Amino acid sequence: MDGVNDYDYLFKILLIGDSGVGKSCVLLRFTKIKTIDLNGKQTKLQIWDTAGQERFQTITRNYYKGAQGIFLVYDVSERDTFDNIQNWVDEVKNNTEKAVTMLLIGNKCDLVNKRQVSTEEGEQLAQNLKMCFLETSAKDNTNIAKCFQVMAGEIEIKLSTDENEIDNKKIISVTEGKKIKKRKIC
């Protein structure tokens, strides 16, 4: 599947977060462009890294342009990077026109003895922000492929859904032919 047009979907996905959280390593693990199978549809993921621009707070609107998915990455062994996630969410919202799919990633989960942010805190934040959450390790390859698969699935759902807010919980109606399936986000 290396041709130009041999895919059903093409998703632009960004990695965002403080410097040093492991964005480039996550990307290297997965490689920059990959085609995955999504319910039988060949889906090409084009993944962009900030290339260190975040250090100078110079991420341009161009970087965000056309993105369907954004990974918000923090380092479980550096609390500051977790505390900064809300700022990144605000930055994304200020720079994107349509609602993009965001997914929270706690990277470096292999650093068991240096952990400063618990899994429960990550889950709680993701729930507050109404997004999926995964802990990863680019070092030992934990959940790397899975986070891209989850992201692609969430984008696809968003593309084909109506969203309803029910009791403050986000419920998504997924239309599958004539059947309507109700699904709660993660």
Least distance from ligand GDP to the Cβ atom of residue 107, Å: 5
Identify which of residues 54 and 156 has a Cβ nearer to ligand GDP in the complex.
Answer: 54
Least distance from ligand GDP to the Cβ atom of residue 66, Å: 21
Identify which of residues 68 and 137 has a Cβ nearer to ligand GDP in the complex.
Answer: 137
- 55 three-state secondary structure: helix
Rg (CA), the chain: 16
Identify which of residues 69 and 156 has a Cβ nearer to ligand GDP in the complex.
Answer: 69
Q: Which residues bind ligand GDP (CB under 6 A)?
A: 19-25, 107-108, 110-111, 137-139
DSSP 136: -
Identify which of residues 70 and 156 has a Cβ nearer to ligand GDP in the complex.
Answer: 70
Least distance from ligand GDP to the Cβ atom of residue 133, Å: 16
Least distance from ligand GDP to the Cβ atom of residue 117, Å: 14
60/128 Cα distance (integer angstroms): 27
181/178 Cα distance (integer angstroms): 10
CA distance between the termini of the chain: 31
84/5 Cα distance (integer angstroms): 39
